[in-house]
């Protein structure tokens, strides 16, 4: 089965962004998603009002994942999936901390609570199941990124041991030479790297890659990476976010 996957840092709703604040960008975000029609869409920095806007604009999708704050609010790492293609079998969320089941928890040198949302999906027609993980590592704490990456791998590895294909995506806030990215590359395939398509993904609404390659889609080795790209286009002259979204076309293994 071939699926298209997209990772999209939406940029939180900040009035200080002026003409680039969320209400001015919503249509560009929706246009980008509908143009590429990902089967799975991992978002970062989505706040409740923003996700409600996307829910109304993307009727073929449902999502899972809650906010990072102790009350379930705040920024989400929401994962959208096409309901005409998949059924959600189970899902959950953990905090990147010493107490990962404690909502709102943070540890090490993390500047904010950080989370990883995950779900197990089954393709309609009983074609097989796979797991999706979506995260946003801390932008300040080096230890938080490193130890958060190790915690994420602890949650992914049991699925791989059970031969469940796994996809990990998100904003890692670190470049390819960093310890977390090298760690994941030691266990998983980096889709952009596999296709020779890597490059800066943060641009601060300038269209010029000023912040390095920090967004990734990883896949377990049972998955074949067919395509991958950084989407650098504007919509009616406007960039949808301060990050370029990234996408990959993946072939999931045949169900035994």
DSSP classification of residue 85: T
Write out the two tokens for 165: 């294909």
Over the stretch 58-78, which tens digit does the pLDDT of each residue have? 999 999 999 999 999 999 999
- Cβ proximity of 66 and 76 under 8 Å: yes
Write out the two tokens for 41: 């869409």
Sign of CA dihedral 214, 229, 203, 69: negative
**H or E element that contains 145:** helix 142-161
Return phi, psi of residue 81, to 5°: -140, 150
d(CA 239, CA 5): 20
Buried b (16+ CB within 10 A) or exposed e, 51-73: bebbeeebeebebbbbbbeeeee
Does pLDDT of 82 surpass 80? yes
d(CA 148, CA 97): 7
Does pLDDT of 256 surpass 90? no
159: left (phi over 0), alpha (psi -120 to 50) or beta: alpha
Domains and CATH numbers, the chain: 2-251 (3.60.10.10)
- First-to-final CA distance of the chain: 13
Over the stretch 107-140, which tens digit does the pLDDT of each residue have? 999 999 999 999 999 998 766 899 999 999 999 9
DSSP classification of residue 255: P
Over the stretch 20-37, which tens digit does the pLDDT of each residue have? 999 999 999 999 999 999
- Cβ proximity of 223 and 189 under 8 Å: yes
125: left (phi over 0), alpha (psi -120 to 50) or beta: left
Q: Which one, of 244, 243, 195, lies nearest residue 219 by Cα?
A: 195
Q: List 235's β-bridge partners, or say none.
A: 238
Cα dist from 197 to 210, 212, 225, whole Å: 17, 14, 12
Amino acid 254: pLDDT: 78
Amino acid 126: pLDDT: 62
Chain centroid to Cα 102, Å, comes to 22
d(CA 227, CA 250): 7
Neighbours of 37 (CB within 10 A): 11
Give this prediction's pTM: 0.97
Write out the two tokens for 194: 């596999």
């Amino acid at each position: 089965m071939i699926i298209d996957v997209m990772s999209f840092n939406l940029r939180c709703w900040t009035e200080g962004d002026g003409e680039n604040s969320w209400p001015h960008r919503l249509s560009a975000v929706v246009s980008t998603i509908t143009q590429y029609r990902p089967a799975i869409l991992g978002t970062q920095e989505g706040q409740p009002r923003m996700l409600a806007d996307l829910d109304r604009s993307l009727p073929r999708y449902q999502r899972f994942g809650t906010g990072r704050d102790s009350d379930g609010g705040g920024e989400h790492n929401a994962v959208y999936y096409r309901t005409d293609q998949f059924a959600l079998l189970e899902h959950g969320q953990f905090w990147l901390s010493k107490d990962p089941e404690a909502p709102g928890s943070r540890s090490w040198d993390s500047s904010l609570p950080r989370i990883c949302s995950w779900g197990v999906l089954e393709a309609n027609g009983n074609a097989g199941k796979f797991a999706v993980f979506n995260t946003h590592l801390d932008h300040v704490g080096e230890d938080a990124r490193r130890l958060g990456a190790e915690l994420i791998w602890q949650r992914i590895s049991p699925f791989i041991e059970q031969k469940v294909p796994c996809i990990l995506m998100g904003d890692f806030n670190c470049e390819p030479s960093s310890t977390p990215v090298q760690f994941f590359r030691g266990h998983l395939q980096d889709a952009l790297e596999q296709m020779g398509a890597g490059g800066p993904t943060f641009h601060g609404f300038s269209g010029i890659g000023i912040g390095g390659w920090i967004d990734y889609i990883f896949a377990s080795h049972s998955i074949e990476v067919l395509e991958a790209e950084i989407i650098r286009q504007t919509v009616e002259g406007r960039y949808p976010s301060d990050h370029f979204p990234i996408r990959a076309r993946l072939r999931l293994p045949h169900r035994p």
